Amino acid sequence: MKFLDEAKIWVKAGDGGDGVVAFRREKYIEFGGPDGGNGGKGGDVIVEAVDGLNTLIDYRYAQHFKARKGGNGAGSDRTGAASDDVVLKVPIGTQILAEDRETLLADLDTPGARAVICRGGDGGRGNAAFKTSTNRAPRRADKGWPGEERWIWLRLKLIADAGLVGLPNAGKSTFLSVVSAARPKIADYPFTTLHPQLGVVRLSHSEEFVIADIPGLIEGAHEGAGLGDRFLGHVERCAVLLHLVDGSQADPAAAYRTVRAELEGYGHGLAEKPEIVGLNKVDAMTPQAKASRLKALERASGKRVMLLSGATGEGVPEVLRALADTIAANREA
């Protein structure tokens, strides 16, 4: 299934049904009077977050959604039938934005969360509603009110506890495949990962968390270079970032600073999130290179750097424990 995290759609609620002009006609009743019923309410357009979906691909080809009009009134004071609502099902974590792509209408971050995006029009009044002591036979009936309509943007932000960031070839996909059942595409060239991947890490029967692998950042990503930073929105909800740095390259400190600059350029609080820094691929380094690069990275980050190897599993349990502890502390807060 193709991954799609943004979609623009047009939605329109149903118009209200029309009221009618009708008069009571029965044998032996000389003056029956008005009995035109009111119109029924038009259907609403509702967006609902459901389990089992992880992409907005359903809204790539079907982009127009319209609820039905309410039923018209009828004689004998019969009100028209209200129309059914149109319910659009989206993945958990979907945000609904106005056409300007800035105004947030709803944030569906829990299963079953719902938002009424367009309200159906009320039904028009039949002539029975206009009867007064001085106007005994009104011949007026209202049309139904129009339903709301608008263009909206659906933007998916995956629900993950931890996010993997780093330059291309930092070993993020390998790490995800080792610690979870996810099977991302892995190869020794930039941009192997073209869209976010999710994996569930289980440390015990009662302790698990979700980790997201984000496509690699390069210098200038927040200005659109490479794959850009469009996927960083998927780690906005994370409690902690795991910043993996390729230890097999000559200057890991520069790689760290590059990614940090892109996180700060993106904004939205990513640069302030708790961060665990990992020097990856220690199996590909000599002891001397390991010591010097570890020291340089700690100096650049100002944090304790953890050593690990996604290929051999060295240091991975310690990194997972640090992630789990940070996530637990965040949940308690």
Annotated binding site for Mg(2+): 173, 193
Residues comprising the binding site? 166-173, 191-195, 213-216, 280-283, 309-311
Strands 94-98 and 104-108: antiparallel
Taking CA atoms, 57 is separated from 5, 8, 11, 75, 150, in Å, by 8, 11, 17, 46, 20
Helices (H), the chain: 58-61, 172-179, 252-266, 287-301, 316-332
- What is the CA angle 44-20-142, rounded to 5? 65
Q: Rounded to whole angstroms, how far apart are CA atoms 224 and 231?
A: 12
Token pair in block for residue 203: 């440390």
316-332 helix and 172-179 helix, angle to the nearest 10 degrees: 80
Cross-sheet strand order for the sheet of 6-12: 64-66, 6-12, 149-156, 94-98, 104-108
Please, which residues have CB within 8 angstroms of residue 71's CB and are 6 or more apart in sequence?
17, 39, 40, 80, 81, 82, 83
Q: What is the CA radius of gyration of the chain?
A: 29
Residues comprising the binding site for GTP? 166-173, 191-195, 213-216, 280-283, 309-311
